[in-house]
Amino acid sequence: MIDTKLTTNGRVSTESHTPAKAKSLDLAGSRMTYSRLIGALFLVGFLTYGVGSGLVTSLVGGSNFLSTIAASQTILVIGAFLMFLNTGVDVAKGVLFFPILEKHSKRTALAYLATMIVEVVLLSIGVLALLLIVPLAKHAGEAGAQTLGSILVQTNATAYQMGEMTLGVGAVFLCLLLFRTQLIPRWLAISGLIGYPVLVAGTIAEIFGIHIGLYLTIPGFFFELVLPFWLFFKGFKPEAYQGQTTV
């Protein structure tokens, strides 16, 4: 496309806006949009699930919590709802990552999306178990009610650990691809390759009653905290975003 403009000396100048230049600008905008959306989802997931879990834990952490739930059931429901919002957030991450990863490995893109779906199903089962505490609280004085309430709380805890274990496995494949393609800096991808296997080990330990999982989440937490800010300000590497693998 040729645009003509009249210059100050009366001559006509031409400016060429080639399709290639327009395509390059569109691609850069698309890259940063995708980068920032994915980064935002990581932070929103932290916020929604973290706040929701904190609210719920404050109510069900005691040994005789069922008798106090009736007066605070609104807080429990709000907390569970915030935890459930993470379902949409994590699925959205897998969906947005898919076209970016698919340019390099469709198998990895499918594997990551599949593990995210399994993770959110497990987390949702745990949230549903927590919501069952609300009707159960009406029978707090009956025999076995407190025991059943404790089982529901433990169901959520186990579902969470299994969900995080699934996430950790899928994220290892994600980080391997990020490292190979340099969609993000290799030092950041390496932190994920270290952090997620440690996270998986922590979830397995928690399932078997060895309570060290909280400490083993720290390396993975570093990756999931730094990645969003990198994506916000730098975005995915342009060449890798276009499907070109950097050696």
Mean pLDDT is lowest, of 22-31, 49-58, 120-129, 139-148, for 22-31
What is the C-alpha radius of gyration for the chain, rounded to an integer number of angstroms?
24
> What are the tens digits of pLDDT across the range 153-181?
999 999 999 999 999 999 999 999 999 99
Distance between CA atoms of residues 29 and 42, nearest Å: 20
Output the six-digit token pair for 177: 């691809």
- Where is average pLDDT lowest: 41-45, 99-103, 140-144? 140-144
The confidence score (pLDDT) of residue 219 equals 86
- The predicted model scores a pTM of 0.83
Q: CA 23 to CA 215: how far, in whole Å?
A: 47
| Per-residue model confidence as pLDDT tens digits over 217-232 | 888 889 999 999 999 9
* Residue 62 DSSP class: S
What's residue 120's pLDDT? 94
Mean pLDDT of the residues in the chain: 86
Q: How far apart are CA 177 and CA 189, in angstroms?
A: 9
Residue 22 pLDDT greater than 50, yes or no: no
Residue with tokens 């300000």: 233
Return the structure tokens found at 7: 């210059």
Q: What region, left, alpha or beta, does residue 28 occupy, with left being phi > 0 and alpha being psi -120 to 50 degrees?
A: alpha
Q: CA-CA distance, 194 to 168, in Å (whole number)?
A: 11
Which range in 12-16, 20-24, 144-148, 198-202 is most confidently predicted, on average pLDDT? Answer: 198-202
- pLDDT for 2: 43
Spacing of C-alpha 4 from chain mean position: 49
Indicate the Cα dihedral angle 48, 54, 56, 62, nearest 10°.
Answer: 170
The helix or strand, by DSSP H or E, that contains position 4, with its residue range, turns out to be strand 2-6
Position with higher pLDDT, 1 vs 245: 245
Q: What is the pLDDT of residue 123?
A: 95
Per DSSP, the three-state class of 2 is: strand
Instruction: Give CA separation, 116 vs 11, 98, 179, in Å.
Output: 61, 11, 20
